Chains A and B, each alone.
Chain A
Amino acid sequence: MQVTVKLFANFRNNRFNKEVRTIAPDITVGAIVTELAIAREEVGVILINGRHGSLDQTLVEGDTLSLFPLIGGG
């Protein structure tokens, strides 16, 4: 199935900004993070379709996964 993965801040370095990826069903967010060679402890915020998610959550066809390191401002 296909999902859209978006990366932000330094996660983009040597990777991509946005990519449509084909993944196996039942694959977790954590597995995608590992596939992208991002250390799990570096993941600050996970948004799935704009809502907060977790590393053990699985995705469904058409989902948008956004991954951020810990960031702040304001």
Chain B
Amino acid sequence: MADKIYRVNMNDLTSTIEDVSEAWAGLGGRGLTSTIVAAEVPPTCHPLGKHNKLVFAPGLLTGTIAANSGRLSVGAKSPLSGTIKESNSGGTAAQFFARLGIKALIVEGKPSKDVLYCLHVKKDGVDISEVADLKGKGNFDTINTILAKQEEKKAVISIGPAGEMKMPTANISIKDPEGKIRSAGRGGLGAVMGSKNVKCITIDAAESSTVQIHDPDAFKAAAKVFAKALMDHPVSGQGLPTYGTAVLVNIINEAGALPTKNFTSGQFEGAEKISGETMLELMEVRGGKNRHGCHPGCVIRCSQVYNDANKEYKTSGFEYESIWAMGADCCVDNLDQIAEADMLMDDIGIDSIEIPVAIGVGMEGGLLPFGDGPGILKLLKDEIGKGTPLGRLLGSGAGAVGKAYGVTRVPVVKNQAIPAYDPRAVKGMGITYATTTMGADHTAGYAVTANILNVGGSVDPLKKEGQVELSRNLQIATAAVDTAGLCIFVAFAALDVPEAFAAIVDMLNARFGLSLTGDDVVGLGKAILKTEHEFNLAAGFTNKDDRLPEFFSEEPLPPHNVVWDFTGEEIDAFWDF
């Protein structure tokens, strides 16, 4: 049976199942969420109003045997940035959607009654029920309560208290195979879910089947080449499984690009203590575990189980960017305190990049001393988690905190916090932060590859030459990867090994009976970026919003003492395609 679109109307609590239009048939993941948002959401609408829509879509390859294809895209107009937004995540939900033949779930409207709902998605439709007992619950308690009630295997998507309170940095949590959490982390999509009074979405696996493959033999052959390429590449086969993404702490620090003390230095004295190497040593001593996958079928398995000093579980999916944000940016060199914060932010349901960056800005304004780890934990528990006035301010993100404390060094683009690579010393990332349709987002065009890591070529991170082209090519490729439902970490192999990229195209063709070329896939990426860009222009954004904050141009970043030196015209050339 052909895949369908499931649509839930929260105005009258009804749902429908629709055929997929021709225009949407060739899309999945980000390509589909962005196309639906652009087609159906008025660009100038209030992100928390009834006209915004929350769209979930598995990728084109999700649900198949393709390695690392279990990503779920979530799209809407962002309450943080006001731009179009797509945030994607691992967990089990995407594969459950795909195996039920659900190409996208669209949640629209807004209920008149002030009560929370659960959407239970199954083959023949969506059941909408009240879940008053889940009000105010954290994500872990929510997931455990749902799983305890029901016998069948279920995927769970939920929001924590931050989403219920509609904080513009609230995220959406997705249960992983072990009942822990992965997050569609950025841009406040949890607030959009909260604005529609949807506390959770459960997805039934009982009636799921395998996804249809047009040419199973060709698919299997391409999937084999693809998985082998991922496992043979040193980054996806060795570095990521062994050390996790935190392997980046030391190299970005050594390169002088680790934003420290609210972006005043490129090196952090305590970097070694919060590095991937240190994390691995602690996991070995404390009985943690590396090589942990966020979804079935992941062969990279960059996640881990991180235990505390008492050998008790503390957190998983303990990522470089989250560690950097509370670590170097807030000057906390204690990995256990950062792990505690990571777990708390997962439970509250809030962006673990945006919040520590916001606190770093607050620290500069006198909120707390830099380095005060216990102080940060207290802010998370007693202020943000409880929704006090200070908690709501912090939960509004780095831009809001900068205004409230009169700070001029506020690292945001389109009001979204700049993550873990200083744009002065990794200039390709600066172009990505400035131009991506998402607000500052490292995943949109990860120029760290060629700038620092010598993957997919080499471009000097401290010079301007080649950066616009690098960022453009990566952003186009990323839009396509996000549409396929693949983890972005497949790019390390796909950028270096031609067979890996060819295998992605072959899998798409075998899955759907198409004859796409590599150029067609690039064309798809370009079309998605343009659709998103047009939405933002119609929402009121101009090229003047594609700029970095002025302090990057005026304050040299030690140790290389470099500034951001691109002209507006040079940045705008990004869109010449």
A74 touches B250 (CB 8 A): no
Binding site for A on B (CB under 8 A): 233-236, 238-240, 242-248, 250-251, 254-256, 272, 276-277, 302, 320-321, 442-443, 446, 448-449, 452-455, 458, 460-462, 488-489, 492, 559-560
- A8 to B277, Cβ gap below 8 A? yes
Would you list 22 pairs from A and B whose C-beta atoms are within 8 A, ordered by A residue? A8-B251, A9-B242, A42-B234, A45-B452, A47-B251, A50-B254, A52-B454, A66-B251, A70-B235, A71-B247, A72-B235, A72-B239, A72-B449, A72-B489, A73-B239, A73-B245, A73-B246, A73-B276, A73-B320, A74-B446, A74-B448, A74-B488
Find residues 25-46 in chain A having any chain B CB closer than 8 Å to their own CB. 42, 44-45
B interface majority secondary structure: helix
Main DSSP-derived SS at the A contact region: mixed
* Bound CA span A44–B454, Å: 7
Q: How far is the CA of A10 from the CA of B233 in the complex (A)?
A: 15
Top 10 nearest A-B pairs (CB, nearest first) are: A73-B245, A72-B235, A71-B239, A70-B234, A73-B248, A50-B256, A66-B254, A72-B492, A71-B247, A73-B320
| A8→B247 CA distance, assembly (Å) | 9
- Contact check: which of A12, A17, A71 meets B251 at CB < 8 Å? A71
**A71 in contact with B248 (CB, 8 Å):** yes
Contact A52 B488 (CB under 8 A): no
Q: Is the CB of A9 within 8 A of B453?
A: no
Tell whether, in the assembled complex, residue B255 and residue A50 are in contact, meaning their CB atoms are under 8 Å apart.
yes
Please determine whether B248 and A74 come into contact, CB atoms closer than 8 angstroms: yes
A8-B250, A45-B452 as given contacts; A71 in contact with B256, CB under 8 Å: no
Bound CA–CA A6/B235 (angstroms): 20
Q: Which of B240, B254, B454, B559 contacts A73 (CB 8 A)?
A: B240
A73 to B559, CA, bound (A): 23
Q: Size range of the interface on A?
A: 20 to 34
Is A74 touching B238 in the complex (CB atoms < 8 A)? no
Q: Are B254 and A6 in contact (CB under 8 A)?
A: yes
Complex interface: chain A residues within 8 A of B489 (CB): 72-74
CB distance from A41 to the nearest CB of B (A): 10
B254, B320, B559 pick with most chain A CB within 10 angstroms: B254
Instruction: Tell me if B453 and A12 are in contact (CB < 8 A).
Output: no
Complex Cα distance, B243 from A12, in Å, reads 13
Contact (A45, B239) CB under 8 Å given A72-B489, A73-B320, A74-B488: no
CA of A21 to CA of B102, assembled, Å: 61
Q: How far is the CA of A52 from the CA of B459 in the complex (A)?
A: 10
Chain A residues with CB under 8 A of B461: 52
Whether the Cβ atoms of A68 and B320 lie closer than 8 Å is no
A6-B254, A45-B251, A50-B254 given as contacts; is B242 within 8 A of A74 (CB)? no
Return the contact of A69 from the options B239, B245, B458 (Cβ within 8 A): B239
Give the chain B neighbours of A72 by CB distance below 8 A. 235-236, 239-240, 247-248, 448-449, 453, 455, 489, 492
Tell me the complex Cα distance, A11–B240, Å: 15
